[in-house]
Amino acid sequence: MTHVVADPETHAAAIIDSVLDYDLVTGKITHQSANKVIDLIRAEGYQVDWILETHAHADHVTAAHYLKQQLGGQIAIGERISEVQQVFAKVFNLREEVGVDGRQFDHLWKDEEVFRIGSIEARVLATPGHTPADVTYLIGDTAFVGDTIFMPDYGTARCDFPGGNAETLFDSVQRLYTLPDETRVFLCHDYIPETRTDYRWETRILTQKQHNIHIAEHIKKEAFVQMRQARDKELAMPKLIVPSIQINIRAGALPEPANNGISYVKVPLNSIFAAK
């Protein structure tokens, strides 16, 4: 899900977790999804101040760089993105091409950092576990939780990527559970369990505490960690993990073109992605 948050008074806006359309077979990148966001922003007369990432996604390519070119705004992500960059710069042997200090982003959030979208106050909450760099954006009475919890009937995000940790995710979710019960929770994905057919993207903290099948508040840490680790062993790698990571650690910019003018992504053979 991509979210647009706007202040009705000033028309200042933020875009959260955008996406490029990437064809895995051909490497063709198109912009239908991102252009829908641009159309909305222009139709409403919004001024984009922030292009926010909840983390470096492993299953889709961010449109952050493209949106910044089209609309302006600052691209921001959690400061621990540098840890993610360090791991993947090694995996893809990109050390000379990709700075591993977050320099590709305009702003790196510290835990509890406060910012504004027009007249609306927003706050960043570090919520690692899925990856080290995951953050939640608290904006007004809403929380954009990225890949932490999903709809109550689907559960939680996987924790088996490099730097992921189920115990850490448990602690992050307990942090989310200290938010007011009525906080509106907006999701990053809905994978739709077998028990329903429609996409959903909004729930509340109280509903999660009472009903989340993985991490309702009565579930103990040990039980959660055991469940999460067992489930992660069964999950395939996301189809777009190889291109996504290489582009997303660059804030959505394509790799520097080779001397023929074409940008390439690398596929590491028999590396960590083949361990599954």
Collapsing DSSP to helix, strand or coil, 104 comes out as: coil
- Closest CB to Fe ion among residues 46, 186: 186
CB 29 within 8 A of CB 61: yes
Q: Which stretch binds Fe ion (CB under 5 A): 21-29, 88-96, 118-126, 146-154?
A: 146-154
Question: Could you tell me the smallest distance in angstroms from the CB atom of residue 30 to Fe ion?
Answer: 22
Sign of the dihedral through C-alpha 24, 27, 32, 33: positive
| Contact between 158 and 130 (Cβ < 8 Å) | yes
Q: Which stretch binds Fe ion (CB under 5 A): 37-45, 72-80, 147-155, 230-238?
A: 147-155
Q: Cβ-closest residue to Fe ion?
A: 147
**Distance of CA 181 to CAs 115, 143, 153, 178, Å?**
23, 11, 18, 8
Determine which residue in the list 85, 147, 165, 248 makes contact with Fe ion, applying CB under 5 A: 147
- DSSP conformation letters of 126-149: E--SSSTT-EEEEETTEEE--SSB
Give me the least distance between CB of 146 and Fe ion, in Å please.
Answer: 7
Q: Least distance from C-beta 130 to Fe ion, angstroms?
A: 6
Q: Which two tokens stand for residue 270?
A: 């028999």
Which residue, 83 or 147, is less far from Fe ion as judged by CB?
Answer: 147
Site string for Fe ion, 19-58 (x = CB under 5 A): --------------------------------------x-
Here the tokens at position 38 are 């641009």
Of residues 57 through 86, those in contact with Fe ion by CB under 5 A are: 57
Site for Fe ion, rule CB under 5 A: 57, 147
